Amino acid sequence: MSDKAKGILCAMTGPLLFGISGTVAQSLFQNSGVTAPWLVSVRLLGSGILMILFSYFRLGSQLFDVWKNWRTALLLVCLAIFGMLGNQLTYFEAIAHSNAGTATVMQFLAPTLIIIYFAIVNRRWPGRADAVSVVLATIGTFLITTHGQFGSLAISKGGLIWGILTALSGVVYAILPVSLVLQFGSLATTSWCMLIGGVGFNLYHPVWVGQPRFTLAVDLKVAFIILFGTMFAYLIFMQSLKYVSPTTMSLLDAFEPVSAAILGVLFLGVHMDGVEILGTLLVISTVFVQAMKTPNQYESTDLNQSN
């Protein structure tokens, strides 16, 4: 297998596992009495411990470099709480109040919100590709949430609110870690974020509070979310960076909402009509629009400008 084929396979597998984990989480919410806060506590704490152990094996003492400066340490804690934890909690709450497909598509609004954020910060209108992305995302979100009917919601208010919060927390998680990733690497940054987020949230909602009735099916599903839907999904996706361009990765990232939507329809009885499918495709298409930008067009939304 060529390096490019390996990269494409990894870039597809990571988002696919993320999408499957969302559907597995939905099945836990619907059929096993699992709550979003409990699943977030278990997922972040479990994956955080495993990721820290893996990172220490790979990085050694370099893993602790981020704690040598109080500014980077403070930024890491803020990222873990408001970025990682915030994104995980709002995402699972969005699934619990709607479904995995809708929640994942709403999460894909984050790049559009980032475009708007930098347009305001830089006091400059978005470029053509960015403007098209904003329009497509707005129309797509309208179709998903209303099915094209003004004055009515096709999803619950809770699903809409948590979906929007998922996108907003995604913006925080995209903007805050730039300097940390550049200085300490994505593996160390993400590992600490998972562990800090897991420990921090367990102070509020310990894993022994609100436990579901454990069965073999529940155990296997939770283990899948921690191992394959979090740790392995991230590591496999990051492995693709060695072989393919970020543009290719961003295109294949669309496998996450597509897989979540398809699996929800096939296994959980989720119904998607033509209007909702169109809205989903419009939101996902923003990824392709962004991927077709020329290098100089990236300036308006370059995350490094926030530092």
pLDDT tens column, 61-106? 999 999 999 999 999 999 999 999 999 999 999 999 999 999 999 9
Q: Is the pLDDT of residue 258 over 90?
A: no
The C-alpha atoms of residue 197 and residue 47 are separated, in whole angstroms, by 11
| pTM as predicted | 0.88
* pLDDT of amino acid 247: 63
Question: For residues 182 and 304, which has the higher predicted lDDT (pLDDT)?
Answer: 182
Pick from 31-45, 211-225, 237-251: least confident: 237-251
CB 145 within 8 A of CB 160: yes
* pLDDT of amino acid 291: 74
Burial class for 10, CB neighbours closer than 10 Å (0-12, 13-18, 19+): buried
Q: What mean pLDDT comes out for the span 204-222?
A: 95
- Give me the phi and psi of 150, to 5 degrees please: -65, 140
Q: How high is the mean pLDDT of the chain? A: 88
Reported as a single tens digit per residue, the pLDDT across 113-148 is 888 888 898 888 888 888 898 899 999 999 998 888
Which sign does the torsion angle of CA 35, 76, 49, 227 carry?
positive
